[in-house]
């Protein structure tokens, strides 16, 4: 297992979903402050945005991690879910049930993102891992 890569993708997942959620949360707060009801389409758009960035993170992981891709992706999903506990439950005040439901979110996005990333890598005939220099490699 490439623990450094797993840590990077846990951070990337946290950052990507956090930014997507923050933008919509900020807009939602502004609408509430003005007394404007939040349309259902806004909630759906927020969910789609967060799902999309999560799928993209897993797809990118699948492109750069061709060996044991699903093992790495499941580890990223589990670690992201566990790292999300303090933020979701302790800081944001979500319920434990909501936090447990996030595991389904990560499972769904993983099952979509990893095959997309693998297909992208095969179709375009490139493995981004091979294009990235390792420690001690010369960049030409």
Give 41-72 pLDDT, tens digit per residue.
Answer: 988 999 899 999 999 999 999 999 888 999 99
Measured distance CA(66)–CA(23) in Å, rounded: 33
In a domain, 137, yes or no: no
The fraction of the chain above a pLDDT of 70, given in percent, is 89
Q: What is the mean pLDDT of residues 31-39?
A: 92
Comparison of pLDDT for 71 and 106, the residue scoring more: 71
Q: Is residue 105 part of a domain?
A: yes
| Confidence band of 19 (pLDDT split at 50, 70, 90) | very high
Q: What is the pTM of this model?
A: 0.81
How much is the pLDDT for 127?
52
pLDDT digits over 79-90, tens only? 998 888 888 778
In a domain, residue 134? The reply is no
Supply the mean pLDDT for the chain: 85
CA terminus-to-terminus distance, the chain: 28
Our count of domains for the chain comes to 1
User: Residue 138 and residue 136: Cα distance in Å, rounded?
Assistant: 7
Q: List, as one string, the DSSP characters of 51-104.
A: HHHHHHHHHHHHHH--TTHHHHHHHHHHHHHHHHHIIIIIIS---HHHHHHHHH
In a domain? residue 70: yes
**Which range marks the domain in which residue 105 is found?**
3-127
Q: Report if residue 12 sits inside a domain.
A: yes
- Note whether residue 112 is domain-resident: yes
With a cut of 70, say whether residue 135 has pLDDT above it. Answer: no
Check pLDDT > 80 for residue 136: no
- The H or E element spanning position 25 is helix 3-33
In a domain, 101, yes or no: yes
> How far are the Cα atoms of 35, 49, 52, 56 from residue 30, in angstroms, in the given order?
9, 19, 24, 28
């Amino acid at each position: 297992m490439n623990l450094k890569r797993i840590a990077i993708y846990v951070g990337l997942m946290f950052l990507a979903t956090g930014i997507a959620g923050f933008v919509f949360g900020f807009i939602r707060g502004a609408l509430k402050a003005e007394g404007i009801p939040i349309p259902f389409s806004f909630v759906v758009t927020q969910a789609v945005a967060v799902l999309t960035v999560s799928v993209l993170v897993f797809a990118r992981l699948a492109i750069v991690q061709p060996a044991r891709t699903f093992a790495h992706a499941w580890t990223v999903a589990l670690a992201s879910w566990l790292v999300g506990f303090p933020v979701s439950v302790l800081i944001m005040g979500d319920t434990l049930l909501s936090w447990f439901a996030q595991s389904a979110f990560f499972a769904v996005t993983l099952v979509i993102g990893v095959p997309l990333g693998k297909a992208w890598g095969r179709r375009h005939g490139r493995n981004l891992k091979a294009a990235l220099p390792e420690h001690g490699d010369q960049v030409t």
